[in-house]
Amino acid sequence: MNPGFLLAYLIDGLLIGFVYGIAAMGLTLIWGVMNVINLAHGPMIALGMFGVYLLYVNASINPYLALLIVGAIGLGGGFMIYWIAIHRVINAPHLSTLLATFAVNMIIVGLGTAIFSTSPYTMDFSLGSLRFGMVTIQGTRIVAALAAMLVTGGLYLFLYRTATGKYVRAVANNRAAAELMGIPSARILALSFGLGTLLAMVSGGLIATFFPFTILSGGTYELKSFVIGVLGGLGNPLGALAGGLILGLFEGIIPALVPNTWVPVFEFLLFVLILLVRPTGLFGAKR
Amino acid sequence: MKDQQQSSVALPLPAGRAAHALGVWRNPGLWLVLAVVGLAGAYPIITNQAAIREAIFTILLSIALASSLNILLGYTGYVSFGHVVFFGLGGYLGMYLLSSGVSLPVAVLAGGMIAGLLAFLLGSAILRLRGAYFALATIGINEAMRTFISNFGPFGGPTGISLNFAVYKPYGGAAQALWLTYYSLLILTLVAIVLSFQIKHSKFGLGLRAIREDEDAAEVMGVVTPRAKTWAYVLSAIIPGMAGVLFFFKNGNIEPLDAFRLHFSIELLVMVMLGGQGTVLGPVLGAAGYQQLRGFLLTNPTFKDYQLVLAGALLLLIVLFIPAGAIGWLRSRFPRLRRVLP
Q: Could you state, in order of their start, the residue ranges of all structural domains in chain A?
A: 21-215
Query: Is A11 a residue whose pLDDT tops 50?
Result: yes
What's the pLDDT at A154?
93
- The torsion angles phi and psi of A36, rounded to 5 degrees, stand at -120, 130
On whether any CB of chain A is under 8 Å from the CB of B129, the answer is yes
Return the DSSP state at A125.
-
Q: How far apart are CA B113 and CA B122, in angstroms?
A: 14
Whole-angstrom CA distances from B158 to A81, B100, B139, B148 are 37, 19, 20, 10
Share of chain B above pLDDT 90, in %: 54
How remote is the C-alpha of A51 from its chain's centroid? 15
Rg, Å, chain A Cα set: 19
Interface test with A, best of B139, B213, B269, B277 (most A CBs within 10 A): B139
What's the pLDDT at B106?
96
Contact B319 A100 (CB under 8 A): yes
What's the pLDDT at A282?
81
Contact B132 A110 (CB under 8 A): no
What's the pLDDT at A1?
57
Query: Is B20 a residue whose pLDDT tops 80?
Result: no
Pick the residue with more confidence: A94 or A190?
A190
Contact A114 B151 (CB under 8 A): no
What's the pLDDT at A96?
87
On whether any CB of chain A is under 8 Å from the CB of B340, the answer is no
b/e code A239-252 from CB counts within 10 Å (16+ = b): bbbbbbbbbbbbbb
What's the pLDDT at B12?
45
On whether any CB of chain A is under 8 Å from the CB of B124, the answer is no
Instruction: Count the residues in chain B.
Output: 342
Name which of A109-123, A213-227, B162-176 the model is least confident about: B162-176
Contact B129 A265 (CB under 8 A): no
Query: Is A100 a residue whose pLDDT tops 60?
Result: yes
b/e code B271-288 from CB counts within 10 Å (16+ = b): bbbbbbbbbbbbbbbbbb
Q: How far apart are CA B331 and CA B329, in angstroms?
A: 5
b/e code B160-181 from CB counts within 10 Å (16+ = b): bbebeeebbeebeeeeebbbbb
What's the pLDDT at A232?
87
Query: Is A286 a residue whose pLDDT tops 60?
Result: no
Report yes or no: A145 and A19 within 8 Å, Cβ to Cβ: yes
On whether any CB of chain A is under 8 Å from the CB of B65, the answer is no
- Give B13's pLDDT tier (boundaries 50, 70, 90): very low
Contact A264 B143 (CB under 8 A): yes
Query: Residues of A with CB below 8 A from B147's CB?
Result: 261-262, 264-265, 268
From A96, A114, A226, residue closest to B319, measured CB to CB? A96
Q: pLDDT tens digits for A235-284? A: 888 889 999 999 998 888 888 788 888 888 988 998 899 888 887 888 77
Return the DSSP state at B75.
I
Report yes or no: A18 and A188 within 8 Å, Cβ to Cβ: no
What's the pLDDT at B69?
96
Q: What is the mean pLDDT of chain B?
A: 88
What's the pLDDT at B15?
44
- Give B21's pLDDT tier (boundaries 50, 70, 90): low
Q: What is the mean pLDDT of chain A?
A: 90
Three-class DSSP category at A135: strand
- Give B3's pLDDT tier (boundaries 50, 70, 90): very low
Q: Which residue of A has its CA nearest to B137?
A: A272
Q: Give the residue-averaged pLDDT of A204-228.
A: 92
Report yes or no: A254 and A263 within 8 Å, Cβ to Cβ: yes
Query: Residues of B with CB below 8 A from A96's CB?
Result: 319, 323
What's the pLDDT at A197?
96
Q: Where are the alpha helices (DSSP H) in B215-261?
A: 215-220, 225-251, 256-259
Contact B140 A113 (CB under 8 A): no
Q: How far apart are CA B229 and CA B232, in angstroms?
A: 5
- Give A28's pLDDT tier (boundaries 50, 70, 90): very high
Residue B4: its H or E element = helix B2-10
Report yes or no: A31 and A235 within 8 Å, Cβ to Cβ: yes
Query: Is B266 a residue whose pLDDT tops 90?
Result: no
Q: Quick one: A269 exposed, middle or buried, by C-beta within 10 A (0-12, 13-18, 19+)?
A: middle
On whether any CB of chain B is under 8 Å from the CB of A220, the answer is no
Q: Give the residue-averaged pLDDT of B250-273.
A: 91
Query: Residues of A with CB below 8 A from B129's CB?
Result: 275-276, 279
What's the pLDDT at A41?
95
Measured over all CA atoms, what is the biggest interatomic distance in chain A, rounded to whole angstroms? Answer: 61
On whether any CB of chain B is under 8 Å from the CB of A269, the answer is yes
Interface test with A, best of B149, B315, B321 (most A CBs within 10 A): B315
Query: Is B67 a residue whose pLDDT tops 90?
Result: yes
Please give the angle made by the CA atoms of B244, B250 and B252, to the nearest 5 degrees: 100
From A92, A95, A275, residue closest to B133, measured CB to CB? A275
What's the pLDDT at B22?
58
Whole-angstrom CA distances from B110 to A108, A129, B105, B192, B319 are 40, 55, 9, 17, 37
Contact A268 B144 (CB under 8 A): yes
Three-class DSSP category at A131: strand
Query: Is A132 a residue whose pLDDT tops 50?
Result: yes
Q: Give the residue-averaged pLDDT of A94-113.
A: 91
Q: What counts of helices (H) and strands (E) characterise chain A?
A: 11, 2
- Give A177's pLDDT tier (boundaries 50, 70, 90): very high
- Count of Cβ atoms closer than 10 Å to residue B257 Cβ: 12
Q: The pTM is what?
A: 0.88
Amino acid at site B257: L
Total beta-carbon pairs less than 8 A apart between chain A and chain B:
120
ipTM of the complex: 0.87
Q: Which residue of A has its CA nearest to B145?
A: A265
Q: How far apart are CA B213 and CA B227, in angstroms?
A: 17
Query: Is B1 a residue whose pLDDT tops 50?
Result: no
- Give B326's pLDDT tier (boundaries 50, 70, 90): confident
| Residues contacting A187, CB < 8 A, separation 6+ | none
| Residues contacting B100, CB < 8 A, separation 6+ | none
- Give B342's pLDDT tier (boundaries 50, 70, 90): confident
Amino acid at site B234: V
What's the pLDDT at B220?
92
What's the pLDDT at A42?
94
Q: pLDDT tens digits for B235-261? A: 999 999 999 999 999 999 999 999 999
Contact B313 A107 (CB under 8 A): yes
Name which of A166-180, A248-262, B2-16 the model is least confident about: B2-16
b/e code A50-73 from CB counts within 10 Å (16+ = b): bbbbebbeeeebebbebbebbbeb
From B79, B137, B313, residue closest to A95, measured CB to CB? B79
b/e code A88-99 from CB counts within 10 Å (16+ = b): bbbebebbbbbb
Share of chain B above pLDDT 70, in %: 93
Report yes or no: A151 and A145 within 8 Å, Cβ to Cβ: no
Contact B306 A259 (CB under 8 A): no
Contact A103 B316 (CB under 8 A): yes
Would the CA dihedral through B167, B248, B254, B309 be positive or negative?
positive
Name which of A67-71, A105-109, A281-285, B319-323 the model is least confident about: A281-285
- Give B7's pLDDT tier (boundaries 50, 70, 90): very low
Three-class DSSP category at B51: helix
On whether any CB of chain A is under 8 Å from the CB of B144, the answer is yes
The region that residue A231 occupies, defined by phi over 0 for left and psi between -120 and 50 for alpha, beta otherwise, is alpha
Three-class DSSP category at B253: strand
What's the pLDDT at A194?
96
Pick the residue with more confidence: B234 or B273?
B234
What's the pLDDT at B2?
40
Report yes or no: B185 and B57 within 8 Å, Cβ to Cβ: yes
State the Cα torsion B239-B243-B246-B249 to the nearest 10°.
Answer: -120
The region that residue A284 occupies, defined by phi over 0 for left and psi between -120 and 50 for alpha, beta otherwise, is left
